[in-house]
A = this chain, B = another copy of it.
């Protein structure tokens, strides 16, 4: 399978802007989505961790996904929404909906309340999900982020699911920041596109066959990340490494502020739209000072 056939590229896990009453700021959301695509994202992933997915209802997520398409902000085949919840029935609801809309893929967390579930139990969960959707159009990205969910998706489980559902289990997002795990998944599941959750190890992963990256940083720096990706996808790894220098400094600056509030505060600073400062509870609103300081830092180091 060539890179063209596989799910590969630079994927923006979209921030979700809110009105003061905490409803989704639709127009601002669509504008941000369209900008990310225009600036080089291959795909958008609404309702990942960066998009505060867990703080949305099932109904809100389906409505927001439809509105992204209807507004013209994105085509369905540019979307890989997060659809993983704790209950299989609700994960099925969101996943079937995404497939029905024509989304390129879905990104699925392990059911994250039952943190002591075994690999056999998780295999049963994902197997029933795939069989329950029952569509050849389903492409699934396993979403590994153990620092939030505690329960993760082991390389062995990824390999086992990929072998049982080849083509359907298409990708693995590794947000663990654990390079050993990233390498192990690439080895254990060779049919799967592995995406680090940070642009800082994208080239390293692509050298081993990784798919690109799905990174919060793509909300503020997608053009530069795309340039790195294009060089690496062409096999021009040395160019990619050189271009990675400022990309990595941008990423490091973001991480200093807590990714979601830092990115939202930066957006508020850059656009002058204070709605970007709002986060849903249990998170706290972003501090406007963080974005101003971050813009100054980025101007200096990048």
Contact check, A282 vs B57: say whether CB atoms are below 8 A apart.
no
A88 closest partner in B (C-beta):
B281
A42 at the interface (CB under 8 A from B): no
Closest CB-CB distance, A269 to chain B, in whole Å?
Answer: 22
A128 at the interface (CB under 8 A from B): yes
Contacts of A179 on B, CB cut-off 8 Å? Answer: none
Closest CB-CB distance, A163 to chain B, in whole Å?
Answer: 19
Contact check, B114 vs A282: say whether CB atoms are below 8 A apart.
yes
Bound-state Cα–Cα, A148 to B112, Å: 9
Number of interface residues of A (CB under 8 A): 39
A86 closest partner in B (C-beta):
B54
A121 at the interface (CB under 8 A from B): yes
Bound-state Cα–Cα, A201 to B18, Å: 45
Contact check, A57 vs B284: say whether CB atoms are below 8 A apart.
no
A39 at the interface (CB under 8 A from B): no
Contact check, B125 vs A281: say whether CB atoms are below 8 A apart.
yes
Contacts of A121 on B, CB cut-off 8 Å? Answer: 281-284
Contacts of A89 on B, CB cut-off 8 Å? Answer: 56-57, 60
**Top 10 closest pairs, chain A to chain B, by CB:** A54-B113, A117-B282, A54-B86, A125-B281, A121-B282, A125-B282, A124-B281, A57-B89, A57-B90, A121-B284
15 further contact pairs, Cβ within 8 A, besides A54-B86, A57-B90? A54-B113, A55-B87, A57-B58, A58-B90, A113-B148, A113-B149, A115-B148, A117-B282, A121-B283, A122-B281, A122-B282, A124-B281, A125-B281, A128-B281, A151-B282
